[in-house]
């Protein structure tokens, strides 16, 4: 079943190469792509063997992460509405030598452009190849940012930044989260997070309760986030 006009309009809107495609290329996307909906916590793709294609996110939130031998997860970046997940089509790319996983954080609606179609477009359209380029560069920038956080930044500053970002993503000062989850997302240990959160609480910056971190002094957190 081809995409409906609403979904087609959505792709046209978010894919910068759409207007540079030939009519048969557009037709290929329309007839070959399909809506895929995920529930919160569903795994969208697992590692390099899993190469379904490009997921274009209509709504929701997707988290991409790497996995250690011992099962530790490190979040690399998050994708939101209008973002495109390229690593679920990483078999299209040459020289990708790492395993990446993606999971729906919230219920998420996507449109999947299958690998065979994207590969064909990527090989035949300069505009598509340039878009691939932009996606990879953008994800590389995300990973570089994370690397710099880990290498160069003190943990109190990183945690303050993390809490402020989560608050802005959630649109609330009350974060429904556990210390375990914060540690996982920051590539740290639960104990380290708990210790620092208690310090923040003693400074009046947050209030801790079961399954919740409430930001009680944004100014102070923002000051810490900017500190060198």
Taking the complex as a whole, how short is the minimal distance between the CB of residue 34 and a second copy, in angstroms? Answer: 26
160 burial class (0-12, 13-18, 19+ CB within 10 angstroms)?
buried
Q: How many residues bind a second copy (CB under 8 A)?
A: 40
User: Which of the stretches 133-141, 160-168, 172-180, 190-198 binds a second copy when contact is defined by CB under 8 A?
Assistant: 133-141
* Residue 154 binds to a second copy (criterion: CB under 8 A): no
How crowded is the C-beta side of 99, counted as CA atoms within 13 Å?
A: 11
Q: Which is nearer to a second copy, 186 or 196 (CB)?
A: 186
Q: Interface with a second copy includes 49 (CB under 8 A)? A: no
227 is an interface residue for a second copy by CB under 8 A: no
Among 136, 183, 189, 192, binds a second copy (CB under 8 A): 136
Q: Which residue has the tokens 């919160």?
A: 40
How near is the Cβ of 207 to a second copy at its closest, in Å? 30
Closest CA to 147 of 66, 228, 62: 66
DSSP 41-86: T-EEEESTT---EEEEEEES-EEEEEE-TT--EEEEEEE-TT-EE-
Contact map string, positions 173 to 202, toward a second copy, x by CB under 8 A: --------------x---------------
Q: What's the gap between Cα 172 and its chain centre?
A: 20
22 binds a second copy, rule: CB under 8 A? no
Position 31 contacts a second copy (CB under 8 A): no
Nearer to a second copy, 76 or 205 (CB): 76
- Alpha-carbon distance 177 to 61, whole Å? 16
Distance from C-alpha of 131 to C-alpha of 122, rounded to nearest angstrom: 9
Q: Are 60 and 81 in contact (CB under 8 A)?
A: yes
Min separation Cβ 11 and a second copy, Å: 20
Binding residues for a second copy, rule: CB under 8 A, are 66, 68-70, 72, 74, 93-98, 122-126, 129-130, 132-141, 143-148, 150-152, 187, 228
């Amino acid at each position: 079943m081809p995409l409906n006009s609403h979904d087609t309009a959505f792709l046209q809107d978010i894919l910068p190469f759409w207007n540079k495609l030939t009519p048969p290329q557009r037709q290929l996307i329309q007839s070959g792509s399909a809506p895929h909906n995920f529930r919160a916590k569903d795994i969208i793709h697992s590692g390099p063997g899993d190469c379904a294609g490009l997921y274009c996110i209509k709504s929701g939130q997707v988290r991409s992460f790497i996995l250690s031998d011992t099962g530790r997860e490190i979040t690399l970046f998050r994708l939101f509405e209008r973002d495109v997940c390229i690593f679920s089509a990483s078999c299209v790319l040459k020289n990708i030598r790492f395993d990446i996983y993606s999971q729906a954080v919230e219920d998420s609606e996507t449109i999947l452009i299958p690998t065979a179609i994207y590969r064909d477009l990527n090989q035949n359209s300069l505009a598509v190849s340039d878009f691939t380029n932009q996606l990879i560069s953008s994800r590389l920038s995300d990973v570089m940012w994370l690397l710099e956080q880990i290498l160069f930044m003190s943990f109190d500053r990183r945690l303050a930044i993390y809490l402020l970002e989560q608050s802005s993503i959630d649109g609330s000062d009350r974060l429904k989260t556990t210390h375990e989850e914060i540690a996982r997302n920051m590539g740290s240990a639960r104990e380290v997070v708990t210790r620092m959160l208690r310090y923040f609480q003693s400074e009046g910056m947050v209030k801790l309760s079961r399954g919740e971190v409430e930001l009680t002094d944004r100014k102070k957190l923002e000051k810490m986030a900017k500190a060198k």
